[in-house]
Amino acid sequence: MIFLVKIMGVVGSPRKEGNTNYLVKEALKAASNLGVETELINLGDIEIEPCIACDICKSTGECAIFDDVPSLLGKLVDSQGVIMGSPVYFGNVTSQLKMLIDRSRPLRMDFKLKNKIGGAISVGGSRNGGQETTISSIHQFMLIHDMIIVGDGAPLAHYGGTGVGSTINSAAGDEVGLETSRNLGQNVAELALQISKK
């Protein structure tokens, strides 16, 4: 039986064709060049409610809110790597992505994301507008799920994909954002392939 390695891209922007979408797609293209399967979900396309702290997930391992999140969580469980991107909003992730992060708690009950490979991408309107703090929030989510975090690797080797752009698709002209996002996608795929070798 052929086992396909899958990398999920999650875009935390409400803008479906925005800069984060552009850079996460670039990362997924670099990943798929290594032979992995990829899928992209825009949080702007799906219905997400906030966690209401009902704690039902603590006893059942399932979320009691029936919107689009449980199906997205299932896709994360079925993949070997996750590339999560967010625009910088006040130095942090968007509220859409934070809602998904909080709603991922059911997966932590028995660590369903353990040892999956994770990488982060962030785009701000300014070069130093909070990309690293935003990436750090995504990394915290990944660490708390016991995932394995990778950065963008050599030659730049920092936190992940860091882009600059304001108007739709202006990040397409940002060489640093493109290079770091592509390198991140390649790194996530490389390690996911290595770890999945039987």
Ligand X SMILES: Cc1cc2nc3c(=O)[nH]c(=O)nc-3n(C[C@H](O)[C@H](O)[C@H](O)COP(=O)(O)O)c2cc1C
Positions that interact with ligand X (CB under 6 A):
13, 15, 18-20, 87-91, 123-126, 129-130, 165-166
Q: Could you tell me the smallest distance in angstroms from the CB atom of residue 170 to ligand X? A: 7
d(CA 106, CA 192) in angstroms, rounded, equals 23
Q: Could you tell me the smallest distance in angstroms from the CB atom of residue 33 to ligand X? A: 23
Q: Could you tell me the smallest distance in angstroms from the CB atom of residue 77 to ligand X? A: 26
Q: Which is nearer to ligand X, 90 or 111 (CB)?
A: 90
Q: Which is nearer to ligand X, 106 or 160 (CB)?
A: 160
DSSP codes, the chain: -----EEEEEE--S-TTSHHHHHHHHHHHHHHTTT-EEEEEEGGGS--PPP----HHHHHSS-S--SSHHHHHHHHHT-SEEEEEEE-BTTB--HHHHHHHHHTHHHHTTTTTTT-EEEEEEEESSTTSSHHHHHHHHHHHHHHTT-EE----TTT-SSSEEEE-SSTTGGGG-HHHHHHHHHHHHHHHHHHHHHH--
Q: Which is nearer to ligand X, 21 or 80 (CB)?
A: 21
Q: Which is nearer to ligand X, 161 or 165 (CB)?
A: 165
Q: Please list the residues that pair with 86 across neighbouring strands.
A: 122
Q: Which residue is nearest to ligand X (CB)?
A: 129
Q: Could you tell me the smallest distance in angstroms from the CB atom of residue 165 to ligand X? A: 4
Q: Which is nearer to ligand X, 17 or 78 (CB)?
A: 17
Q: Could you tell me the smallest distance in angstroms from the CB atom of residue 94 to ligand X? A: 8
